[in-house]
Structure formats: structure tokens, C-alpha cells
Amino acid sequence: MFAYISILSTNNYLPGLLTMFNSLKNTNTKIPFYCMTTENIPKETINILNKCNINVIPTKNIKNPVHNDPTDRKYYNYNKLNMFNLTQFKKIVYIDADMVIFKNIDDLFTKPHMSSTNAGGQIQMFRLTWTKLNSGLLVLDPNKELFEDMLSKIGKLDVKDIGDQAFIHAYYPEWPRTRELHLSHVYNVFSCHLHLYEEEHGYILPEDIIPKSMKVNDDKYIRIIHYIGNDKPWMNMEKINYPPSYNLSHEQYANKLWLRAFKDFYKNIGKDLTDTEKRYIVTEGLKERKN
């Protein structure tokens, strides 16, 4: 059995998760979606996920060995490693909650274990330094023995950062040299890099800026935009609404695409939520906003 997987380990990512899930459904995939939730996610959020027909998989917290501040969302990043233990599935495609999907990506289930991209590493200025995978999009074959081995090495590997991605880098040090695991960057383009991928590599931006008469090279069509960084679009919706829809920067355009996807969530699977639940989603998403 195949599955798309994401995780909600801090409540302020709820607007992102719901938006990403709706964008995935809009690609007409037939593959089910599941959300791992950790022990700190409140029942109010679980109820909203259930009402939106999101399959929930409760998981246990995995202690972060290099970060001990539970008020920081990065404290919970190691919980993502639970995806390697989802042995009820033959293969999964993991997708971060701060992504939006614009085109069907079911072909990823034909890719080998640990397929990913070194997102940003195709850009000229980063080619020599950005060689490791970005864990926002991963193809993997869950395996209990693999998961247990990972757990046994937490706190023992030489990890360069406080998150799950740094641990995965240390666990799979050969990944940069294993070319068959390197996916096209259309599956993971950072919103802040849209202009560089368009200018340097001819990548095609999503949706409505493509003229109807234009012949699209499918290999260059961006499937996923990844909204990296501390300030997420759902923390700045009032600002995203302000710029006019013409003469936008690529990043402003990407933010407008996210906001449109968020509104589309309400139109589709979120239409049965109460006003209180809708306010809850927005309010929770603002809790880590940098003022």
C-alpha cells in the first residue's frame, strides 16, 4: 500500500497542513493521505483534521538530543523520523506542511528509497555548497529495523544542526554522491528561489501566468513550491492581500498562490467547519509570527 504522509508536531502549522492537503487532493491523486500527529497536538486540532477527512496516525515524541526548548517548534523536529516506522505502508512520499502542490506527483512512488532533491543546489551560486538533500520531500520505504537503528544513533552521530534534516544528512552521508536518488528540482522549489530557477533553468511557474498558447515543457513545470523560513504565508495573510496582482516579485507571487490555495481549502474540504473552527485555524497559525 502506498501513502502520502505529513506531520503536525506543532499546532501553528495547522493552516499549512490543511492547505497542502487540499492542494494534493486537487491533483486528482487516488493515493491516500495520512498525517502523523504527536502528543502535544490538542484534541481541538485532531477534531478539525477528522472533519476534513484527514487520516490521523498518532505517534510518540522523539527526544531532540541537541535542543531542549519545548517552546521552540524545532524542538519537535525529530518526530518526523517516525515516518521510517510506518511499516503498514510499502512506500510513502513524505511532504512538509509548508508546501503547496500544483501538479500530480504520483510518479514519485516509482522512485527508490531516499529519493529527494538538494533543493536550491541547482542554482549557480549554491552548486558547490548545497549538495545535501532537503527533507521537505522524501520518498522512502518504511522499515522497522532501519527505524530502530536510527533511534540507536540519535545523539551519537555528528550532527551539524538541531533538526531532523541534519540527522538524516549524518545518517545518509553518501546521499550527495548517489545520483540515482536525486529527484528533479521541480518537486521542491523554495519560494525565495522561483526567479532563479526560472531565469537560470527555464523552470515554468505554476498555473495562471502561463499563456494558453504556450507549449509547456512538462519536465520544467514546477510541481511543488516550498515556503521555507520562520515566517510562513499563514502568518502574514493580511500583507499578502495588499500588493496588487500586477508587477509582483516572484516571492510575492508565490505567497499569493499560497493564499489562494488556503482560500480554496475553505471552499472545498473546509466548507463544513464552524466559524469558531475557522478562527481557531487562523489564530493557531499566528502564534509563532515574528512581529
User: Going along the chain, which residue ranges are E strands?
Assistant: 2-8, 33-37, 55-58, 91-95, 99-101, 115-117, 134-140, 189-190, 224-226
- State the DSSP code for 221: B
- Say if 216 falls within a structural domain: yes
Q: How many domains does the chain have?
A: 1
**247 residue type, one letter:** N
Look up the CATH number of the domain holding residue 168. Answer: 3.90.550.10
The answer to whether 10 and 230 have CB atoms below 8 angstroms apart is no
Please give the residue range of the domain that contains residue 42. Answer: 2-285
Please give the pLDDT value at position 71.
77
- Say if 290 falls within a structural domain: no
- Average pLDDT for residues 247-266, to the nearest whole number? 91
In this predicted model, what pLDDT tens digit does every residue of 215-250 receive, in sequence order? 566 788 999 999 999 899 999 998 887 766 667 888
- Say if 291 falls within a structural domain: no
In this predicted model, what pLDDT tens digit does every residue of 60-91 receive, in sequence order? 999 999 888 887 888 899 999 999 999 999 99
